Structure 1
Amino acid sequence: MSTSESNLFPLVGLQAVANAHNEWVAVSFHLPQQGPGALLAALASADVYAHLAPLDCIIPVTDPQGADAAQLALLMPQLVPQRTILRLSAAAVANKQVQQTCLQWREAGYRIMLDGPGADAVMAGQVDARALCIDAAYELPGLHQLMSLPGPHLACNITDANSLAGLSALGVSWFAGDYALRSARGHSEAEDGTARRRLLALLGLLARDADVQELEVPLKQDPVLAYHLLKLVNSAAFGLTATISSFHQAITLLGRRQLQRWLQLLLYARQQDDGKINPLLPLAALRAAQMESLCQLRGGDRAAQDLAFMTGVFSLLDTLLGMDMADIIATLNLDPAVSSALLERSGELGAMLALAESGATPEPASLLRAGIDDTSYWRSLLQAYQWAITVSRNV
C-alpha cells in the first residue's frame, strides 16, 4: 500500500446530488484541509470515474493560484472534463489570473460553478461559469440571479421537503442534504394500516428465510411490490433473453439470496403521490452495499455479509414506515446482532452502521470503532456508490 493510499481518510468524502425527481445526477466531493492533493491520492487508488459513472463529479477548488496550484496542475490530467464541474468560491475568482485560468478550463471542457458570499451572475460571467452553488442554511439569492444563468444550480444543506420546494421555485434543479431523512411520507399507501402490516409480514418472512410459497403470498397481495420485482428481473441489469412473468421464475433465476436482497430494497421502491421515486431508495442501497463491503473487507463470511446488508437496508425502515424502530423490530424475527445494531448502534454491525450513516464527513473515531482502515473505507464507499447508482436506475 502506498503512502498516498494509506492517508486518504478523512480527506475525501462523497455526497449524492439529486434532481427534482429524486434521481441521482452528480456526486459532490468533500476535501477538507488537504485540497487537491487529497483528491489526487484518491484518484490514484481507484478508477473513481468508472465507479461513479454516469454521474457528474463536482470538485471543490479552494485556492487555484496559491498553495494548491502545484497539486492542482497534477490533478487536472486525472479528471474527465466532460463529467467534471469545478466549484470555486466567489472570493477566488475575483483574481484576474484565476479568471484567465478558469477560461482555460472552460476551453478544455470543464464546467464551473460558483459558491460563497458574492457569487452572482456578474461574477459568473467573468469566468464563464454557468451555475451557482447555494447553501440553503443561509440567505438565498434572488430569482434574477439564477434565471440569468443556464445552470443547473445546486443547493446544499437542505434539511426538509419544504426547503427543497422553495429552492425549486427559485430555479434550483440540483439538491443535496439530509432532507430525505426528515421528509414526511409522500404516498398515501404508507398511511394504510393494511399495507403496513403486509410490509412487516414480508420483512418477517425474509428475516427468517421463509420458503418460496410463503414469500409468494404477500407479494401477490402487494401489486406495487410485485410490479417492481418483475420490472427489475426483466431490466437490462440482469440481461435475460426471456421475459419473466411469474414469481416462481423470478425466484428461480435470482436465487434465494439475491431475491431477499432485492426485496429488501424494493420495499423503498414505491413512487410517491407526485410520481417521484422515493429518495430513500438509493440511500438504502448505498448503506446496504457499504455495510456489505465493509464486512467483506473485515474478513466476514457470506452469512455475515448478508446480515450487514440487511442492517443497512433496514436502518431506514423507521423513516419509510413512520414508526419507531423498536416497534418495527418487535414484529420481526431478526438476528440479535442486527436488532442491537438498529436499536443501539452496538456491536460490530452497529459500529459499521454508524460509519455508513456518517455521510460525507465521517470522524476518524468512527473508523477506529468499526475496525476499518482509511483505504478500506474509501474502497467500500466507491463500491457502494457504484451499486446504488445501478439500483436506482433499474428499479
Structure 2
Amino acid sequence: MVDMHAVANAGNRWVALLLQLDAGLADPGAVWAAVFATPELLAAVAPLDCIVLLATPALLTPALLEAMPANRVLFAIAATALAEGANRGVIAALQQQGYRVLIDCAASAGLVLAPTLCAVSRDWAGWDGNADGASGAISNPVAKPAALLALFGPHLARGVASAERRAQCADAGFAWFSGAYPLHPAPLAEANDAGLHQRLLSLLALIAADADARQIETLLKQDAVLAYQLLKLVNSAAFAPASPVTSCAQAIALLGRRQLQRWLQLLLFARPRCDGLGNALLPIAALRAAQMASLCALGGGTLEAQDAAFMVGAFSLLDVLLQRPMADIVASLNLPVGLGAALSARQGRLGQWLTLVAAPTPLACALRAADITPGHWWHSQLHAYHWAIQVSRSV
C-alpha cells in the first residue's frame, strides 16, 4: 500500500500530498510504476502536487519518469543517498529535467547541501530532542532559521505531531507541514465559548435527526459566521448558480436535503480561527467523511447507509473541534445506537471503518479483517482526497 499524507502551508491550506512506501519492499520501483501507471492518481489530487519520498533516486528509470510529470511530482530523497556519486549525478539530471528535489533527513542529523539543492525535508516523528532545556525549541544547528532561510525552499517538516511542534518548525524556517498536528491543536479562545458550543450542538442534533429545512434555516440565522460560510459555498464555482444566492432559504433550496446535510456537517469545521488561520480540521473531516461513504458504497451499502457512514466520518473530529469528550457529544446529540457506538467506542462495522480511516497507516491485516481489498482501499482514498481537496477550495 501507498501511505498518503496531506501537506499544508503556513495558512493550513493543502498544497501537496506526500507519498511513501513501506521500507521493506523488495522492488519499490515496480510499486511506484504501478501507482503512476494510470493518470488516476494525479487527476484525483489535482491541482495538488505529489511529493514522492525515496530512499534512493536509482530506481527512477526513464520509463518511470515518463509517468511522473515534472510539473506535478517532487522528490524527497534521503540524504544518505548523497554519499554515492552516482546518486548525486541522478539528482543533478533530475533537476536539469525540471524536477524539484528536497533532501530528506532525520531531525537529529547534520546536513550540508550542494549549492544546487535548495530545499530540505525533515522527519520529526518521535523526535524529542530539546537541547535548549525546558523551552522545547528546535536546537539542531541545521534547522536554525538563518540556515534554512539561506536556502530557497520551501522546506517540508513531516511527522509533525502537535501544534506546538508545528510552531517550532515554522520558527525554524519550515513552510510546509505534514503530520497529526491538526488533531492536537493549541487551546483557542473560542473553545470556551459556551454559546457557540450550544449553537453547534443544536445544529448537529437537527442534522442527525434529519430535521425540517425550516428548523435548520432558523438556527443558521442565529449564527452569522455559519450562514456566511453556507452562502460562500453555494456561490462558489463548485455550484455556479445562475444568479447570486443571497439568503439561507435560497441556499437550502439549491443544495437539496441530502447535500445540505452533508455540507452542513463540514461547514461546522470551516469557521475561521481566532488567530486568522484556516481551520486545519476542515479537509480532514471531509477526507474521513468521503472515505467512509466510499467504503460503504464499494461494499454495496444503500444511500441511507452511505449517509450514515459519511456522518460518522465527519463527526469523528467533533471532540477535537469542541475540545470535549466524544462520549459527552454523542450523548447530547441523541444519535442512533450504531452511530454513537462507532464514534465513542469504534464499535460495529462503522467503527471498524472509522478506525482504518483515522489511522495514519492502516495495517494490511486490519483491511483484511474488515473485508476491504487493497484495490477498494486505494480507490476510496483517491475519491476521498479528491473530494476533500474540492471542499477546501470551495469553502
Task: Determine the structure 2 residue equivalent to 1:112.
Answer: 101
Report if aligned partners of 2:190, 2:274 keep a CA contact under 8 Å in 1: no
Equivalences for 1:38-117 in 2 at 5 Å?
38-44=31-37, 47-65=40-58, 68=59, 72-116=61-105
Deviations 1:116-158 (A, max 9, x none): 25563x4242xx2221011224454233331221000001111
Give the TM-score taking structure 1 as reference length: 0.92
2:312 is equivalent to residue 319 of structure 1: no
Say which SS state the counterpart of residue 121 (structure 2) adopts.
strand
Task: Determine the structure 1 residue equivalent to 2:119.
Answer: 131
Q: Could you tell me how far 1:185 is from its partner in structure 2?
A: 4.0
C-alpha separation in 2, matches of 1:244 and 1:172: 40
Name the stretch that deviates more: 49-58 or 139-148.
Answer: 139-148
Say which SS state the counterpart of residue 255 (structure 1) adopts.
helix
Name the stretch that deviates more: 39-48 or 237-246.
Answer: 39-48
Task: Determine the structure 1 residue equivalent to 2:246.
Answer: 245
Report if aligned partners of 2:57, 2:91 keep a CA contact under 8 Å in 1: no
Say which SS state the counterpart of residue 312 (structure 2) adopts.
helix
User: Percent identity between the aligned chains?
Assistant: 45
Q: Could you tell me how far 1:89 is from its partner in structure 2?
A: 1.2
Say which SS state the counterpart of residue 259 (structure 2) adopts.
helix
Equivalences for 1:168-183 in 2 at 5 Å?
168-183=170-185
Task: Determine the structure 2 residue equivalent to 1:302.
Answer: 303
Deviations 1:61-99 (A, max 9, x none): 21333xx36xx4432111120121111111102222211
Name the stretch that deviates more: 253-262 or 55-64.
Answer: 55-64
C-alpha separation in 2, matches of 1:183 and 1:94: 38
Report if aligned partners of 1:285, 1:313 keep a CA contact under 8 Å in 2: yes
Q: How many residues get paired?
A: 376
C-alpha separation in 2, matches of 1:155 and 1:47: 27
C-alpha separation in 1, matches of 2:37 and 2:308: 32
Q: Which runs of 5+ in 2 are unaligned?
A: 130-139
Task: Determine the structure 1 residue equivalent to 2:13.
Answer: 23
Q: Could you tell me how far 1:335 is from its partner in structure 2?
A: 2.1
Task: Determine the structure 1 residue equivalent to 2:164.
Answer: 162
Deviations 1:299-357 (A, max 9, x none): 10100000000000000001100111111011113222111110111111011111101
Q: Could you tell me how far 1:213 is from its partner in structure 2?
A: 1.3
Q: Could you tell me how far 1:210 is from its partner in structure 2?
A: 0.6
Task: Determine the structure 2 residue equivalent to 1:3.
Answer: none
C-alpha separation in 2, matches of 1:116 and 1:278: 29
Opposite residue 120 of structure 2, the aligned amino acid is: L
Name the stretch that deviates more: 132-141 or 88-97.
Answer: 132-141
2:135 is equivalent to residue 145 of structure 1: no
Deviations 1:239-265 (A, max 9, x none): 212100111111111000000000000
Say which SS state the counterpart of residue 116 (structure 1) adopts.
strand
Task: Determine the structure 2 residue equivalent to 1:202.
Answer: 203
Opposite residue 180 of structure 1, the aligned amino acid is: P
C-alpha separation in 1, matches of 2:85 and 2:55: 16
C-alpha separation in 1, matches of 2:286 and 2:308: 14
Say which SS state the counterpart of residue 154 (structure 2) adopts.
coil
Name the stretch that deviates more: 94-103 or 164-173.
Answer: 94-103
Q: Which runs of 5+ in 1 are unaligned?
A: 1-9
Q: After the TM superposition, which parts of structure 1 deviate over 4 Å for at least 4 consecutive aligned residues?
A: none
Equivalences for 1:276-295 in 2 at 5 Å?
276-295=277-296
Opposite residue 43 of structure 2, the aligned amino acid is: A
Report if aligned partners of 1:307, 1:338 keep a CA contact under 8 Å in 2: yes
Deviations 1:213-254 (A, max 9, x none): 111121011100000000000001112121001111111110
Of structures 1 and 2, the one with the larger relative CO (CA 8 A, separation 6+) is 1
Task: Determine the structure 1 residue equivalent to 2:135.
Answer: none
Report if aligned partners of 1:354, 1:366 keep a CA contact under 8 Å in 2: no
Report if aligned partners of 1:228, 1:266 keep a CA contact under 8 Å in 2: yes
Give the TM-score taking structure 2 as reference length: 0.92
Q: Could you tell me how far 1:378 is from its partner in structure 2?
A: 0.4
Say which SS state the counterpart of residue 153 (structure 2) adopts.
coil
Q: Could you tell me how far 1:272 is from its partner in structure 2?
A: 0.9
Report if aligned partners of 2:157, 2:174 keep a CA contact under 8 Å in 1: yes
Q: Could you tell me how far 1:45 is from its partner in structure 2?
A: 5.2
Opposite residue 57 of structure 2, the aligned amino acid is: P
Say which SS state the counterpart of residue 101 (structure 1) adopts.
helix
Q: Could you tell me how far 1:46 is from its partner in structure 2?
A: 5.4
Report if aligned partners of 1:114, 1:129 keep a CA contact under 8 Å in 2: yes
Aligned mate of 2:4, from 5, 14, 33: 14
Opposite residue 164 of structure 1, the aligned amino acid is: R
C-alpha separation in 2, matches of 1:230 and 1:241: 14
Q: Could you tell me how far 1:38 is from its partner in structure 2?
A: 1.5
Task: Determine the structure 1 residue equivalent to 2:136.
Answer: none
